[in-house]
Each structure stands twice: as structure tokens, then as C-alpha cells.
A and B are shown apart, each in its own frame.
Chain A
Amino acid sequence: MKRIAPEDLSEFFTSLSLRYDLRIPILLADGGRAIGNLADGPLAMIGRAVLSKPTSFFFAQDELVFTERDGDLHSPSKNGNNLLVVGFTPRDLLCLHFIDRFFATGERDDLYFHQRDGAVVAVVSGYCGPDGAFIVPSYGGCDLEFIYDGNKEWLVLPYSEAGREIVSSLEDAPEELLEGIRKIDSGMLSAEKELIGQASRIMRQMELPDSFWEEIGERCIQCTGCNLVCPTCTCFGIQDWRYAEHTERRRMWDSCQLGGFMQEAGGHNPLGTAALRTRRRIHHKLAADPERWGEISCFVCGRCDATCPTGIGIFAISREIVARFAHISVTR
């Protein structure tokens, strides 16, 4: 384990940017935080939740698939260094594991792994949440982790060869510094995960009434934000851009909350109402994914609840499902 003082972080990351294509938590002009380039804002390892999903560096809102010029196809070339993405939360990391497996299963998604292979992932945890709230560390599953002790320093834990190489220049820290932090982590996650799990069990046990989904659907303005901020949403569409001298095929995030998502050419639409679309979104994460992948694909990162203008993010809906149907499903 290593240690670094907060005031030394900036220089440390700057030195890494010579070897890596660095993405790091920064303070934006509006006072919010994002993961971006050090040149675009001051380093901000601590503070309010980051809305944009860190998995977007491997699966972007809009990205080039290939270029066609004079009948030849050209794949996008990788820009020099591998990515080093700092700022995953432990929950984001679970999302990343989920989509790593998703994109690797069956037809391996070249475009995703084009960025993902060789990328270094760093989690940030400890007393670094909004107003210094504690974020339970991941203790593995990534290349390295920065854990803020809430007082004077960051503890840096490398978990992979790349991680160990990156932190090699930092000062060693005694393992006992982690002891206090390890003690306080038990049970912190459980309430929210338990609620999502309970909603999932209810949905798998019983069919919720159409009227419930209609009520939720009436509140959906189809902004698509829930999908676009969700680190485990992986749907995309394809568009060809025909310029004078070349054509670009690009792919962009799609949203199952849009009517056109499942629209059939003949006119039929299996997801033709907001109620059906909302049901599908929640069902997919809480009921279908557990069947297919063995786990719920919502890791309660909170982004869809933060971005939804009308309060129907997955956690809010899960809460309503539990409040309204828990007693019914139990009695069945």
C-alpha cells in the first residue's frame, strides 16, 4: 500500500499523463464534477456525484465505427497511449464488470475493446463523497484504488501489475492505516441493495398490474436520460454520414424509452406505449438480467434518479414497487 498527500496528487497525475491518456475527476465551470482532462478544470477527487458514466470512455455516446473512402474501409486508429481512467466509484466498477462481460460474450465488440484493452481503471473511495460522505472501497477488481482517509492523505492500493507500476514511485504506507477504514464499511451498502433486490424479487414473483406501469409511464417525458447516464445500458444505433469525399459509419447511444427503439417497418410496435417501455426498462435490469447473467444489472449508482426530471429513476420506482406490492408478493 502507498500513500500520497492531497496537495501532491495534481503533480502525480500530471506525470502520469505523459504515459497515459489520462481521464480524471475535475471541477467543471458550473461547479459540478466530471471525469475529464486535467487541462479542462482543476482536479476534484472529492465532492458531488459525477453524472456522466465513466464507462463512456469505452462506449461513447457517439463514436466512429469505420470510414469508407474510395471503396476502402478504415477502422479508427487508437490515439497513442492507453487510457487511464480515475474516478470510478466501487459501484461504477461493478457496472464496468457487467458490461465487460456483456461486450465480450458471443460476438466480441471490437469497438468497445479497442478502448478497453490496455486501459487502466482506478477507483476513488473513502471519505470523498458529497460533503465528505464515506464511499465503501472496492478492495480489488480494478488496477488501483485511491482511498481518502478523511483527514490528511490518500491511501493508494494497487491491485494489478499496471497499478503497481503506476504507484511505484509513491511512499509506502503501513497496512494498519486501512484498519480503521475496513471496520466502518460493513452494512453501508446493504439498505439500497436490499431494496433493489426486494423489488427484483417482487417483479420475478408476480406480474405488476398494467395500471402501475401506466401511472409511471404517464410521468415519462422520454428524455432518455435514464438510459444515457446508466453505466450498464449498452444499446446503440447506427448512422451513416455521407460527406462529399467519404462516408462515416458511427454508432450512438440509443434508448429503450423511445417509441422508435422497437418500431417495426410494418407499423407494429411491441413497445408502443410509455407504460410498456418503462416496464421493459425496469424489468430488464431487475428481472431479465438476473435470469441471463445471474445478477441484477442495477448497482444503485444513482445516476438515473439524479437525471430524471420527473422522479422515475430505477431506485424511485423500486421504492414504489416495494411499498405497494411487497405485502402482496409475500402472501403469494
Chain B
Amino acid sequence: MKKTLTVCPYCGTGCMLHLISENGRLVGVEPSTTHPVSRSGLCVKGWNAFAFVSHPDRLTRPLVRRNGTLTPVSWDEAFDRIVTGIKNVQKIHGRNAVMFASSAKATNEENFLLMKLARRVFGTNNIDHCARLCHSSTVTGLAQTFGSGAMTNTIDCIDKTDLVFVIGSNTTEQHPLIGSRIMNAVRKGAKLIVADNRRIRLSLHADLHLRHKNGSDVPLLLAMMHTIIAEGLTDTSFIAERTENYAALAESVAAWTPERASLLTGLTAEEIALAARLFATAKSAMIVYSMGITQHSHGVDNVRCCANLAMLTGNIGRPGVGVNPLRGQNNVQGSCDMGALPDLYPGYQKVIDPGVREKFAREWGGHPLPAEPGLPLTHAMNAALDGKIRAMFIMGENPMLSDPDQKHARKALENLELLVVQEIFPSETAQMADVVLPAACFAEKDGTYTNTERRVQLLQKACDPPGDALPDWQIIAALARRAGYAGMSYESTGDIMDEIARLTPIYAGISHDRLTPAGLQWPCPGREHPGTPILHENGFTHGLGRFIPVKYRPPAEKPDSEYPFTLTTGRTYFHWHTGTMTRRSHLLDREERRGFVEICPGDACRCGIRNGEIISVTSRRGSITVVARITDMVPEGVLFMPFHFAESAANALTNNVLDPESHIPEFKVCAVRIEQLP
């Protein structure tokens, strides 16, 4: 029996746990009793983190499609097929005809290497990952206002705050140990405002529950700011000393009275004003948000409003405050940090900056690096459909279920000349691939993940991968060598982190030997630096915090007579994203076996729908069948569906309309109709 301290593979909370192995097989989990986040606890997914690892479905051999069938081959043959395929595509269609999708499930080191493979070995900035689908609005919006697109404070700050304003985050289900921390803070006297029209668990503990209409976050936040200014509740000295462009903000919210916002949000003017007063008069107030804010065609505007609200009330740069986007995947923060983004190198250094390119080129052997930013993932799917992207290399993502408008995603992937998928299970996307590469899962490799509070933590190998499967970093390095690049030989993932530290100022002081037991929070600019729990304490990353006025834009698709319901999508407590791991974990699968659509009792009654009945849900993009769940969780006119289930794929319905700046799809609002099956 062996106990290996490592990081939970599910959400961005970043709990640490011990994997228990017996004769090389994982047989259990034990939470870390000393870790500052887990504190002896885990959520149900963490307690079951070992359960999928030995599943019989694991991919164990490289596969190449021959005569329509995926056939086991050697690693050499698989690599040959990939290198030849990509080079042929690039020769005919140009180097930017290939797209690399990195993975927020993979380690920092692996994201760094795939980024290096794309830029240095194949000469393209076409690299992105699923942050495009979750928090790209945060990266864009907070970078503009604060200069840094990450959670400003730490999870520990929840213990020190006087008020938590949760907007667009079902925290107890999606970041359960953070949600628990919020519930505990409320029991100790902190106030809680929840803005979410679903009756989520946190709303049961809230002082004020705002059930505003989907897509009306901007009017709500503008009217809160209007009230704060009108009633003299701003932090005038913070505004004067730490910010710029206040006058423009004040002018932009002047017309946004709570009465006006009430018409768009469905809230009463009193509720909005009360929220504003509660927030502005708390000594310290935290904003906590997640994808209810970001996944809109105006996601960046939502984020800007959150940042503006925090600056207006001086709730930045000290304990117990801040703008706190809760990152979804275990390493989505790290994947962004590592520059698995089309316009940014590691540490948010810009591709368009010649000095940055020169620095990376020097480290990587002098070869010039591509200057033009690449395609965001969402645009790459469109480009695949148009024939501009001809080859795609996908590491640990499952766009067939996670992308909006599934029909569109399928056509795009089918249109490729070469689709390579590096995976641990035969996902819906892997089944369409020309080459499938079997990867080690989190328990079978070393590396680091960076959690939502910017804490870089050590992942440690607890058991061997099955069959011929290899850690992603070893696969990428071997592929680079096969493609003729000699600069990717590493003895260990620690060596890769050393290279990351040399090139990335915010990670400059990070090395594996410093990360036990509980990691370091970036920015960590030197070997002696203790890390930075709270950002913007003495100044914003770009000097002054910038108020950016926002104009209201409604969601792209609203209910009408043909599609009378608003559909919003999300996740459930027991499953993770496209279910590749959790649907293969016995207890988690047992708890939520099938997809469902939430409908309120009044709507169900009007439509003659019984609880548990299988109904059809149809949007302009597609139609699915799914079990109806009658519940007062959702208000009238709103339906909720999780996107985990291939057989009831919510993303067959969603709208592939993108935020113009972050290019995030509008997963949270589309119009649908429901029907009983004949």
C-alpha cells in the first residue's frame, strides 16, 4: 500500500489528496489534512477521483484509422502518420492550416510543450484550449480593467469577508469546497447575495436572492452601480488614488436607474437597490462569479461590470475582497498561464511583441517564431468547416460534446484531412479521429496544476499508465523529435518547469522542489519570493485600475412564439463536463445516470408534462430527447440542462454566437421549444 500526495483532477478549487495504491492499482483516496484548500475534506468527485483510472475502456495502444477502422499500431507508425499528415497539409495550405487544441486537464508542463510544439516545431500560433469556452471573457475583461485576468484574491479570503456576492456560479455544485467555505462564512455572520435565477443551494442561505432573467447581468450591475453613485456609497479615495476613467463610468450608468433595469431583469427596483446598498456598505465584499457571467455573447461586458463594481467600492487589493472568477477545470488557469492561447505566450506575454518572440526564439534555438496571432478555438471550428483549417491536433478535449451547436462541430471535424486526438478514453471526438494517442491520466504522471487562486501545485505519479499509454509530455516531446526538432528532450517534468521559469516572469521563482506541500501562488518572480496570495495590493498590474463603461446588449437569441423557452446550460454536482471520467466512476454514474431538463411545475402543467417523462427539446440548431425533471429550481419560462450526456446532448441545441472580443459562445442563453413524444 502506498499513499501519494497529489492534486484532484476535477475542478479549479485544487484540493490536494493522497491516492492510495495497492499492488500498482488505485484503491482509494484520502484528503490532505493540512492543505489550505481541502482542510481534511473533499467533494464527492474528489473522494471518487481514483475510480475511473483502472476502467476497462482506457486507451492502451496508439490507433490509426485504416479502411475506416481505428487499428492498433506502434508509436512510430502513429507519429509518422501525424508528422507526414501535418507537413503535407502545411505544404499545400500553409502553416496556419493546422490547429492545436491544448487541454485544461493536462499539466502546466504539457500545455507549455504543446504550445512550444505548435509555435516552434510547426510554426503556427493556432493554439488554444477550452478556456475559450469558459473564462476567455475573464482573461480579456480583467486584463483590460486590472491588467491581470485571474482571481484577485485567495480562497482563504472567504473566511475574512463581510459579504459575498455570488453571481453566475453554482458554487456548492461546481466548486464544492469553495461553496462550503461560503456557507460557513454565512454561518459566522457574513452576508450573502446570490444572483442566479435557479434556486441553487447557496440561495437557501442568502440574505438576498436575485432571480434575474438570463442574460440581464449587465442591467443589474449597471443599476447597482447607479444606486451606489446616486446614494454616495462609493469609495472616493480608492477611486481617486487607484483608478482612472471614473467620470466616463459615472456618465455611463447615470441613466441606469433600478427602475429601468427592473424592466430588463424582472427584479424589483427595491431588490436591485438593496443589493447595491448591501454590497457598498460592507467593510469588505467579495465578488465570486463563474460561467453564468462569462458564457454570453456579452461575457466580456459582464466581467467589466464586475470589475467596475469592485473598484467603485474599493473592494480590491486587500484581504476579504476582490473579483474572484472561479476557474472551471483543474488546470484551466495554468493552461492560460502557459500560453496555450493564440495571442499570448506564457505569462500573458503578447505574440505581437517582437521582443517577446525574440526571447522565446533565443531559448528555443534561434529559429524565428510566427508573428501573427492564431485562431481562437471557436473560430478554428468555423475555419475547419470552411476548409481553411485542414488538420487538428486535440489533446484531452472532447469538442463533440463541449462545443456549441453539435451539428456544426461534427461537420467541422468531419471536414478535416487529419484529426489527431490524444486521450485517456475513446471519447466522442476520439471516435472520429484519424489517429488516437493513448495518454496517461492524472494519477499516472508528474507535473503541476495551477488552481483558481493561482496556486501552482505538484501532481505526483501514483501508478503506471495502462498498456502503451504515455504521459502527454512524453508524447509531445517524442512527436517533436519525430518532426525533426531536437530541443524537446527533458529528463523530467521538473526540467520543463525550469524552462517555463526562465521564460515566464510570473513563474520565475517556481520550481518543483519548492511546491511541496501546498504550492506557490503566482506572481512568484524569484527563487526567494513567497508567492502572492492577493493581487493589486499596492497598485494594479498596469498602474491604475481602469473603469471601462459598458453598454447593454441583449442575448443573441430570445424566446419567441416558435421557441418560447429560454434554455440555459451548465453542469451537475456528480459529473464532470463531457463525462469521460465521471460516467466511468461507478458511484458518480449511479447518482446521475441520464441527462435531464429542469422545468418548473407551472410550465410542466401547461405543457402536460409529467415528472420523468421523456420529451423533446428543439432549438434552431437541433433537437434532442431528454427526461423532464419538474422542479422549482428554475423560474417560469426557463429550462436548464447539463451538457454531460452524449445521448441528450445539450450542445446540440446551444447557439454558436460568440462574444466579439473573447470569442466565447453563448452557452447560457438560447431559445427552445418542448414537445411530448408521439
CA distance A228 to B518 in the complex (A): 24
The proximity string for B residues 579-606 relative to A, scoring 1 for CB distances below 8 Å and 0 otherwise, is 0000000110011000000000000000
Is residue A171 contacting chain B, with contact meaning CB distance below 8 A? Answer: no
- Give the chain B neighbours of A233 by CB distance below 8 A: none
Using a Cβ–Cβ cut-off of 8 Å, how many residues does chain B contribute to the interface with A?
A: 52
Contacting residues of chain A (6-48) with chain B, CB-CB under 8 angstroms: 23, 28-34, 36-37, 40-41, 48
A260 touches B591 (CB 8 A): yes
> Which of A51, A221, A242 is B40 in contact with, Cβ under 8 Å?
A51
A310 touches B180 (CB 8 A): yes
> Which of B28, B32, B50, B180 is A309 in contact with, Cβ under 8 Å?
B180
CA distance A255 to B27 in the complex (A): 17
Contacting residues of chain A (31-81) with chain B, CB-CB under 8 angstroms: 31-34, 36-37, 40-41, 48, 51-52, 56, 60-63
- Helix, strand, loop or mixed for chain A's interface? loop
State the Cβ distance, B293 to closest chain A Cβ, in Å: 22
B587 touches A260 (CB 8 A): yes
Residues on A lying within 8 angstroms of B by beta carbon are 23, 28-34, 36-37, 40-41, 48, 51-52, 56, 60-63, 218-219, 221-225, 228, 237, 239, 241-244, 252, 254-255, 258-260, 267, 306-311
Question: What 5 new A-B contacts, CB under 8 Å, besides A36-B2, A62-B51, A224-B47?
Answer: A32-B32, A37-B2, A61-B29, A218-B204, A221-B201
A63 touches B27 (CB 8 A): yes
B56 touches A311 (CB 8 A): no
* Known A-B contacts A61-B29, A218-B204, A260-B591; A308 and B34 likewise in contact (beta carbons under 8 Å): no
A308 touches B41 (CB 8 A): yes
CB-nearest residue of chain A to B28: A61
- Helix, strand, loop or mixed for chain B's interface? mixed
State the Cβ distance, B184 to closest chain A Cβ, in Å: 6
State the Cβ distance, A77 to closest chain B Cβ, in Å: 11
- Give the chain B neighbours of A28 by CB distance below 8 A: 3, 5, 18, 32
The proximity string for B residues 44-57 relative to A, scoring 1 for CB distances below 8 Å and 0 otherwise, is 10110011001110
CA distance A32 to B42 in the complex (A): 15
CA distance A252 to B48 in the complex (A): 10
A29 touches B517 (CB 8 A): yes
The proximity string for B residues 38-72 relative to A, scoring 1 for CB distances below 8 Å and 0 otherwise, is 01111110110011001110000000000000000
14 contacts between A and B (CB under 8 A): A28-B18, A30-B33, A36-B2, A37-B2, A51-B30, A62-B50, A221-B43, A223-B176, A228-B47, A254-B587, A258-B591, A260-B590, A307-B31, A309-B181
Is residue B516 contacting chain A, with contact meaning CB distance below 8 A? Answer: yes
CB-nearest residue of chain A to B41: A309
Is residue B374 contacting chain A, with contact meaning CB distance below 8 A? Answer: no
CA distance A228 to B28 in the complex (A): 10
B41 touches A61 (CB 8 A): no
CB-nearest residue of chain B to A52: B30
> Which of B5, B22, B179 is A29 in contact with, Cβ under 8 Å?
B5
Is residue B92 contacting chain A, with contact meaning CB distance below 8 A? Answer: no
A30 touches B517 (CB 8 A): yes
CA distance A104 to B586 in the complex (A): 27
B41 touches A31 (CB 8 A): no
Is residue B99 contacting chain A, with contact meaning CB distance below 8 A? Answer: no
Is residue B318 contacting chain A, with contact meaning CB distance below 8 A? Answer: no
CA distance A33 to B517 in the complex (A): 13
- Give the chain A neighbours of B46 by CB distance below 8 A: 223
Residue among B1, B201, B517, B612 having the largest count of chain A Cβ atoms under 10 Å: B1
Is residue B485 contacting chain A, with contact meaning CB distance below 8 A? Answer: no
* Known A-B contacts A36-B1, A40-B3, A306-B33; A62 and B28 likewise in contact (beta carbons under 8 Å): yes
CA distance A237 to B28 in the complex (A): 14
A31 touches B517 (CB 8 A): yes
* Known A-B contacts A23-B1, A258-B587; A29 and B205 likewise in contact (beta carbons under 8 Å): no
- Give the chain A neighbours of B32 by CB distance below 8 A: 28, 30, 32
* Known A-B contacts A221-B201, A237-B586, A311-B184; A34 and B44 likewise in contact (beta carbons under 8 Å): no
The proximity string for B residues 546-574 relative to A, scoring 1 for CB distances below 8 Å and 0 otherwise, is 00000000000000000000000000010
> Which of A56, A221, A225 is B28 in contact with, Cβ under 8 Å?
A56
Residue among A48, A61, A308 having the largest count of chain B Cβ atoms under 10 Å: A61
> Which of B35, B42, B184 is A225 in contact with, Cβ under 8 Å?
B42
Is residue B183 contacting chain A, with contact meaning CB distance below 8 A? Answer: yes
* Known A-B contacts A31-B517, A221-B176, A224-B44; A242 and B56 likewise in contact (beta carbons under 8 Å): yes
Contacting residues of chain B (1-41) with chain A, CB-CB under 8 angstroms: 1-3, 5, 16, 18, 20, 22, 26-35, 39-41
CA distance A192 to B393 in the complex (A): 60
CA distance A242 to B54 in the complex (A): 11
CB-nearest residue of chain B to A50: B33
State the Cβ distance, B39 to closest chain A Cβ, in Å: 8
- Give the chain B neighbours of A267 by CB distance below 8 A: 612
CA distance A244 to B1 in the complex (A): 26
B180 touches A34 (CB 8 A): no
CA distance A223 to B178 in the complex (A): 13
A218 touches B34 (CB 8 A): no
B56 touches A239 (CB 8 A): no
> Which of A222, A241, A255, A258 is B55 in contact with, Cβ under 8 Å?
A241
CA distance A307 to B35 in the complex (A): 12
> Which of A34, A222, A241 is B3 in contact with, Cβ under 8 Å?
A34
- Give the chain B neighbours of A62 by CB distance below 8 A: 26-28, 50-51
Is residue B117 contacting chain A, with contact meaning CB distance below 8 A? Answer: no
B41 touches A60 (CB 8 A): no
